[in-house]
Amino acid sequence: MRISELSRRSGVPTATIKFYLSEGLLPPGRATSATQAEYGEQHVRRLRLIRALIGVRKLSVSATRQLLAAVAEHQGDLHQTLGLVLGARPLTGDQAAVEEQPSADVQELVTTLGWQVSPRSPARRATAESLEALQALAPDITWQSLVPYAQLAEATAALDLDGLEQTDNPLERAERAILLTVLLEPVLLALRRLAQENESAKRYGG
């Protein structure tokens, strides 16, 4: 297909596609003349993934380039691919993440749950930091308080992964993983507020 068709199929403007080509995010098409090239289905899928990384995960162009290279390196390994696009796995050479001291509280939580989580996972730091912020105002909350919440998160994550298995293509699955995780977060928080109102009405309502 021509670049105009690629733009229509991916929903990305032609000027933006040209920018991604010049930045090396998108591999060049097959040249058919001095000024024209032919693009394939892989370009459509890769463009959608780029749009999700930049538009939804809010990565910079250079972080996106680095991430796409890492995804290409682990092609076929779905666990690695999902870890990379979701930010669960630090990019090679990410020294800040590599040198980090793991949180003892989060380690106890992960061990208690029997979860398989990389010691370098950025989600560990996110859990430790958000737990600390909570404890500053509610000191009686400990990692133990989180165990029942984590078990519900486990059930939620199974739903998430079920949603990904509706497609076979690794690039499409990576794109969908970003949409279903990042864009689902505000939906889940809103559902929780609705559910709290319902639970409060059930317990204390007249």
Q: Which residue has the tokens 């990019």?
A: 91
Min separation Cβ 167 and a copy of itself, Å:
11
Min separation Cβ 74 and a copy of itself, Å:
11
Cα-Cα-Cα-Cα dihedral sign, residues 175, 178, 180, 184: negative
Min separation Cβ 115 and a copy of itself, Å:
4
Min separation Cβ 58 and a copy of itself, Å:
14
Judged by beta carbon, residue 37 or residue 150, the one nearer a copy of itself is 150
Radius of gyration over every alpha carbon of the chain, rounded to an integer in angstroms = 21
3-state secondary structure of 177: helix
Min separation Cβ 28 and a copy of itself, Å:
26
Judged by beta carbon, residue 34 or residue 137, the one nearer a copy of itself is 137
Judged by beta carbon, residue 41 or residue 77, the one nearer a copy of itself is 77
Is 26 in contact with 50 (CB distance < 8 Å)? Answer: yes
Angle between helices 170-182 and 184-204 (to 10 degrees): 40
Q: Which residue has the tokens 């892989």?
A: 42
Copy the structure tokens of residue 76.
Answer: 């076929």
Residue spans of alpha helices (H) in the chain: 3-10, 14-22, 41-51, 61-73, 78-85, 95-98, 104-113, 122-137, 143-164, 170-182, 184-204
CA–CA dist 26, 72 (Å, integer) = 12
Is 74 in contact with 171 (CB distance < 8 Å)? Answer: no
Min separation Cβ 66 and a copy of itself, Å:
20
